[in-house]
Structure 1
Amino acid sequence: MGKLDNKIALITGGTTGIGLAAAQLFIKEGAKVIVTGRNPETLEQAKKALGSGADVIAADTSDLKAVEQLFKTVAERYNKIDALFVNAGIAKFAPLDQSSPEMFDELFNVNVRGAYFTAKHAAPLIADGGAILFTASMVTSIAEPMVSVYSATKAALRSFGRSLASELAPKIRVNTISPGPIETPIIGKLGLPAEVIQGVAADMAQRNPLKRMGHVDEIAKAALFLLSNESSYVTGIELFVDGGMASL
């Protein structure tokens, strides 16, 4: 018997990395999974990887009209959902003197504005006893150079998680998961040379108490716990899955 048998789970940013790993795990645990993404190529790849257990829908969470239409479509097809994994996000880093208004707005539009209104439109469809999970980051709790704007967007999600947990209780549980350094495609989208990326990854692994990068499957398993009845008495928390970096 699966931990998500007969449940409907929606994962934004579900076509690569953490989102795709979560979708694959949730399907194995019995869920019907709806995944969203905005890149046509990765949408097609996700359809092939996930098979008939998933409904793959194109939706850009930075476009509020697209978010609203997404949940109209979900309501028409499924009537309700049981679990919402607000995972869509982007990462861009720059020192203060090189940060631009365009970068600032893009990060906040996707990571904050899109996440908040995703939760807003999803909440009326979430069944009693359902759950919402936001993907934040351990960078909200440690000081790192060049990540000030990105870190602020993730801190907003942590705040959403606590406030909405209070607001939506007792019907819906709301939690936040904060990954540490994880091997995901988002690293390759930073526009850095391969040798720089390799150097950053090696440095992060060395600084980690467990001396390695994390894997997307490790985040997916934690997400499964927080979105299933296994965590039925857990709401309003931030769970660090970071090899101890934020705590040790």
Structure 2
Amino acid sequence: MWQVLTCTSMAVQPNIDLLFLNLEIMKKLENKVAVITGGSSGIGLATAKKFVEEGAFVYITGRKQSELDKAVKQIGNNVSAVQGDISNLDDLDKLFRLIKDEKGSLDIVIANAGYVAMVPTDEVTPEHFDKTFDTNARGTFFTVQKAITMLNKGGSIVVVSSCVKDMGLPYYPEYAATKAAECSYVKTWACDLAARNIRANSVSPGPIETPFVNNQFGNKEAAEAGKAQFAELVPMKRLGKSEEVASTILFLASSDSSYITGADIPVDGGLTQIK
């Protein structure tokens, strides 16, 4: 009896070790190299954290070096921060030159950086219009254009758009148009890059609890009132979390979505889906 028990216990131990080994192997982005624009806060930062947890090395970008430094500390390892503005093509060239020198190629591009301000149509100035389009429509386009020559076969592009593009909301005329443009790019890129097995998709978040939302309002009180109004519009009656959008981005960046390309996935609590 004792011999039988001893043999059984010896047989179980290797299986337990194998289980833990498999858990390590199952990381979704093991040895992948990713770049995330606008990665110092909100959705971009949450995505960077998830990617590193899943085995990727991540480059994050942002306009403010101080915010990038904070983000790097939060992420902890396997991350590099590159200061720059996606509307500045020289900054994009610097970013991708650095990635090429250090890593040689890329597997994942997350085009997340953007700009928004609430301005009704009759108050939109040429300067505001140009800033919005230069950052969102132009910056996103050239981010991906400059990345695709470095993208490995089987790579993934994910663009962070917005549910606003589908809603015709006041105060967002030019912002909504830039986000519609981004989704149009995605469909073209999905077709253009299919021969290289590179997939292109977008996510369209609804109101998410991020600095991006807070910054649209003049002060804390106005922000809280505005977010309460947003939450009332959402069937789930709450704002989303950055981590919830990041989980969808992880899905699209990984092989879990290997037969999905050219798609736009709403992450909006049903805001644009339930009529």
Using the size of structure 1 for normalisation, the TM-score is 0.98
**More off after superposition, 47-56 vs 231-240:** 47-56
Q: Tell me the equivalent position of 2:177.
A: 152
Q: 2:117 matched to 1:92?
A: yes
Q: How does 1:102-121 map onto structure 2 within 5 Å?
A: 102-121=127-146
Question: 1:191 deviation in Å?
Answer: 4.5
Q: How does 1:106-145 map onto structure 2 within 5 Å?
A: 106-145=131-170
Q: Tell me the equivalent position of 2:16.
A: none
SS of the counterpart of 1:170?
helix
**Structure-2 separation of matches of 1:96 and 1:206:** 24
**More off after superposition, 186-195 vs 139-148:** 186-195
Q: Tell me the equivalent position of 2:27.
A: 2
Q: How big is each residue's C-alpha offset from its partner over 1:44-75, in whole Å with a ceiling of 9 and x where there is no partner?
A: 10121112210111121110111112111111
Kindly, what percent of the aligned residue pairs are identical? 40
Q: Which of 1 and 2 has greater Rg?
A: 2
SS of the counterpart of 2:266?
strand
Q: How big is each residue's C-alpha offset from its partner over 1:62-89, in whole Å with a ceiling of 9 and x where there is no partner?
A: 1011111211111111001111000011
Structure 2 residue ranges without an equivalent (≥5): 1-25
**Structure-1 separation of matches of 2:86 and 2:231:** 31
Question: 1:193 deviation in Å?
Answer: 2.3
**Structure-2 separation of matches of 1:105 and 1:71:** 25
Q: How does 1:144-223 map onto structure 2 within 5 Å?
A: 144-171=169-196, 172-223=198-249
- Considering only aligned residues, what root-mean-square deviation do their CA atoms show, in Å? 0.9
Q: 2:101 matched to 1:76?
A: yes
Letter in 2 for 1:206: E
Q: Tell me the equivalent position of 1:229.
A: 255
Q: Contact conserved, 2:32 with 2:55, CA < 8 A, in 1?
A: yes
Runs of 4+ in 1 over 6 A off after TM superposition: none
Q: 2:57 matched to 1:57?
A: no
**Structure-2 separation of matches of 1:14 and 1:115:** 14
The structure-2 alpha-carbon separation of the partners of 1:191 and 1:40, relative to structure 1 and needing over 3 Å to count, comes to farther
Structure 1 residue ranges without an equivalent (≥5): none
- Structure ranking higher on relative contact order (CA contacts 8 Å, 6+ apart): 1
SS of the counterpart of 1:178?
strand
Which residue among 58, 72, 76 is the counterpart of 1:47?
72
Letter in 1 for 2:38: G
The structure-2 alpha-carbon separation of the partners of 1:66 and 1:136, relative to structure 1 and needing over 3 Å to count, comes to same
**Structure-2 separation of matches of 1:129 and 1:204:** 38
**Structure-1 separation of matches of 2:161 and 2:111:** 9
Question: 1:178 deviation in Å?
Answer: 0.3
Q: How big is each residue's C-alpha offset from its partner over 1:96-149, in whole Å with a ceiling of 9 and x where there is no partner?
A: 111111110111111111110010110011110000010100011112111111
Q: How big is each residue's C-alpha offset from its partner over 1:143-170, in whole Å with a ceiling of 9 and x where there is no partner?
A: 2111111101111101011111111113
SS of the counterpart of 1:131?
strand
Q: 2:8 matched to 1:11?
A: no
Letter in 1 for 2:244: E
